[in-house]
Chain A
Amino acid sequence: MPSKITAQDFAVSKTTSFLLELECSGCGKKFSFSKIHTYCPDCQSPLLARYDLEAVRQHVDRDALRQRHKGMWRWHELLPVQDPRNFVFLGEGDTALLELPRIGRDLGLANLYVKDESTNPTGSFKARGLAAAVSKAKELGIDRVIIPTAGNAGGAMAAYAARANIQAIIYMPKDTPRANIEESRMAGAEVVLVDGIISDAAGMAGEKARAEGWFDLSTFKEPYRVEGKKIMGYELAETLEWTLPDVIIYPTGGGTGLVGMWKAFEELEALGWLNSTKKPRMVAVQADGCAPVIKAFETGATFCDFWTNAHTIASGLRVPKSFADVLILEDLRASRGTAVAVSDASILEAQRQFGTLEGIFPAPEGAATLAALQTLVEQKWVDPEERIVLFNTGLGLKYLDQLG
C-alpha cells in the first residue's frame, strides 16, 4: 500500500462510473446525468441516481474491492462521478464497525455494534455525502455552492469545496455548535448565522440560491449526497461478509443515510452480491422535541407534518420536516422497521454510557441511537441474539459548548 494516495489512485477499472440516469422518486420521470439537476421539476420530489447494475455485476469483482485503496471512492463504479480527476478526496469512508461488548452485556444483547462515522474528515458522516456532491458539482462545472445546515454538513461542505476550489456559503442557526462555525470559516466559506433553525436557514439559502445562481446542496435537493451516504450500506455488507445486520438504528434528521443505505441494500440485492438476501429492519430515531417521522409512522401517514416549536440538544435532529419524508417512511415500512423518539435526558445519559463503557465519545445524534435501543429492548422489539448496528454519526468533541 503506497503511503501517498491521490484521488485518481482509486480509479482502477476502465469504467469509472456505471451511472445510467436520474429518476424521480415521485413520478418516475427520467433525467440525463450530464446536465445539472436539483429535484423533479414536475412533482418536486427528490431525484435518485440509477446505475447499470448488470454491467457492474459483469465488470466488478465484489471480493476484489477489499484490495483497493481504503476509502469511499473504491466503490466508484457505484458512485456518480465519471472522471477520477473530479474525485474530491479527504480520506472519507471505511469507518470502523466496532463491537460494543460492555453495553451489549448490560442490555442482554450478544451482537451489538456501532458504525463509528466520527473518524470521517471533519468528524462526521456528512463528509461522505458532501464528498460525492461536491465532486459531482466539480464535474458539472459548478463553481459556487450553498447549503443550509444544522452544523456538520456545513463544515463538510466547506472542506470539500475548499479542496475543489469551489466558492461556498453556509447558512446555519446562530446556536450551531461553535466547532461547526469555526471549521467552516477556517475552510474559507462565508458563514451566515440565522436567528432560527435549519428550516429557517433553508428558506434563506434557497432565496439566495435563486436570486444569485448559487447551487443548492441542501439534503435531497440535489441527487448526489445520498450516493455518498449509501456507501455506509456497502461497507456494512462487506464487513459482515456480504450479509446484512438484523437491525440498524439510525438518527434521522434529513434522512439521507437511512434512505441511502436502503438504496444500497436494494442495489446489493440486484447485483447478487449478498450471501443472504435478508435485509435489516431500519429504525429511525428522533428527539421527542422534534419527531415528525415518528408521528407520521405511528399514524400511518405517507408524509410528515411540519413539526412546530422544534427543540432538542441534538442539533442534527432538529429538522421539522425532511424533503425526503416520503422516502424515509417508505423505507421504514418496506424494512418492517420502526421509529422511536427519545428525550434529551436519555441522549445525555447514553452519551455518558458510550464513554464510560466503551471509550467512545459520540455526537448527541449518535448517542440517541443507544437511547432508542434501550426503549426497543424494553419493548422486546429486538431479540438478544440479533445483530444490531447503531450509528454514531459524529464526534462528540464538536459539541462541547452543548455540554456546558
Chain B
Amino acid sequence: MGSNVLYVEDNPDNMMLVKRALEAHGYRLIQAVNGLEGVAVAENAEVDLILLDINLPDIDGYEVARRIRHSAKSALAYVPIIAITANALKGDAEKALAAGCDVYMSKPINIRELWARVEAYVPSRQ
C-alpha cells in the first residue's frame, strides 16, 4: 500500500485531476471537501502528507493549517502540508507559510511538479 495523501479541496475537477495523478504513482488519496472535514480526517486517519486548498467553503486553508499544527494529535505538528491555491488576495503565499504550510503551489497545478514535491516528502511505492 502506498503513502496516504489527504487532499482538502472543494473543486471536483481539481480533486479528480490530483487523484488520477497521485494514484498513477502509487499514492492513496484521501478526500475532504471542506476545511472542517479536512481537520477531522487529518486527526482520525493515518496521513503522510496534506495537500491543502486555501479557498474553502467553510474555514479557509490558513485556519485548517493552524488547527492541524496545533492539534492534540502530536504527529500533525510535523506532517508536510503543501498549500495549493489560486487565491486572489495579496500575500497568500506568505500567509500560507506563516500558518504552518511547508510549500506553496499556485494553480494551475503542474502535475510533474506535484509529483516531484510529493515524492520529496513521501516516496511513492511504485
Interface of A is mostly: loop
The segment from A134-142, A241-249, A303-311, A384-392 found at the interface with B is: A303-311
Of the four ranges (under 10, 10 to 19, 20 to 34, 35 or more), the interface on chain A belongs to 20 to 34
Which chain B residue has the least Cβ–Cβ distance from A41? B17
Task: Kindly state whether residue B59 has any CB partner on chain A within 8 Å.
Answer: no
User: Contacts A200-B88, A203-B88, A306-B104: A26 and B111 contacting too (C-beta < 8 A)?
Assistant: yes
The segment from A42-50, A75-83, A86-94, A279-287 found at the interface with B is: A42-50
Write the B84-123 contact mask toward A (1 if CB under 8 angstroms, else 0): 0011111111100100000111111111110010000000
B93 touching A320 by the CB < 8 A rule? yes
Question: Given the complex of chains A and B, what is the CA–CA distance between A195 and B88 in angstroms?
Answer: 10
Total contacts A to B, CB within 8 angstroms? 66
Which chain B residue has the least Cβ–Cβ distance from A46? B110
B88 touching A44 by the CB < 8 A rule? no
B93 touching A207 by the CB < 8 A rule? no
Question: Given the complex of chains A and B, what is the CA–CA distance between A45 and B87 in angstroms?
Answer: 20
B93 touching A308 by the CB < 8 A rule? yes
A305 touching B103 by the CB < 8 A rule? yes
Q: B81 to nearest A CB, angstroms? A: 14
Question: Given the complex of chains A and B, what is the CA–CA distance between A206 and B85 in angstroms?
Answer: 12
A195 touching B113 by the CB < 8 A rule? no
A199 touching B110 by the CB < 8 A rule? no
Which chain B residue has the least Cβ–Cβ distance from A44? B108
Of the four ranges (under 10, 10 to 19, 20 to 34, 35 or more), the interface on chain B belongs to 20 to 34
Which residues of A (23-63) have their CB < 8 Å from a CB of B? 26-27, 39, 42-45
User: Contacts A199-B106, A207-B86, A321-B106: A306 and B93 contacting too (C-beta < 8 A)?
Assistant: yes
Counting chain B CB atoms within 10 Å of each CB, the highest count among A39, A206, A221 belongs to: A206
Task: Kindly state whether residue A326 has any CB partner on chain B within 8 Å.
Answer: yes
Question: Given the complex of chains A and B, what is the CA–CA distance between A198 and B109 in angstroms?
Answer: 18
Task: Kindly state whether residue A276 has any CB partner on chain B within 8 Å.
Answer: no
Q: Which of B88, B93, B110 contacts A204 (CB 8 A)?
A: B88
Q: B115 to nearest A CB, angstroms? A: 10
User: Contacts A44-B108, A196-B91, A308-B97: A303 and B113 contacting too (C-beta < 8 A)?
Assistant: yes
User: Contacts A195-B90, A308-B94: A44 and B109 contacting too (C-beta < 8 A)?
Assistant: yes
Q: Cβ of B94: which chain A residues have Cβ within 8 Å of it?
A: 308-309
Question: Given the complex of chains A and B, what is the CA–CA distance between A305 and B105 in angstroms?
Answer: 8
Q: Cβ of B92: which chain A residues have Cβ within 8 Å of it?
A: 200, 203
User: Contacts A200-B89, A203-B87, A207-B86: A306 and B106 contacting too (C-beta < 8 A)?
Assistant: yes
Question: Given the complex of chains A and B, what is the CA–CA distance between A309 and B97 in angstroms?
Answer: 12
Q: Cβ of A203: which chain B residues have Cβ within 8 Å of it?
A: 86-89, 92, 106
B110 touching A200 by the CB < 8 A rule? no
Write the A308-347 contact mask toward B (1 if CB under 8 angstroms, else 0): 1100000000001101001000000000000000000000
Task: Kindly state whether residue A275 has any CB partner on chain B within 8 Å.
Answer: no
Question: Given the complex of chains A and B, what is the CA–CA distance between A308 and B103 in angstroms?
Answer: 11
Question: Given the complex of chains A and B, what is the CA–CA distance between A42 and B90 in angstroms?
Answer: 29
Which residues of B (8-52) have their CB < 8 Å from a CB of A? 17, 21
17 A-B pairs, CB-CB below 8 angstroms?
A: A26-B111, A42-B111, A43-B21, A43-B111, A44-B17, A197-B90, A203-B87, A203-B106, A204-B88, A207-B88, A303-B113, A303-B116, A305-B103, A305-B104, A308-B94, A309-B94, A323-B110
Which 10 pairs, one residue from A and one from B, show the smallest C-beta to C-beta distance?
A203-B88, A196-B90, A43-B111, A204-B88, A44-B108, A303-B113, A306-B104, A308-B94, A306-B93, A308-B93
- Name 19 extra pairs, CB < 8 A, besides A195-B90, A305-B104, A323-B108: A43-B110, A43-B111, A43-B112, A44-B111, A45-B110, A196-B89, A196-B90, A199-B106, A200-B92, A203-B87, A203-B92, A204-B88, A207-B86, A207-B88, A303-B113, A306-B104, A306-B105, A306-B106, A320-B93
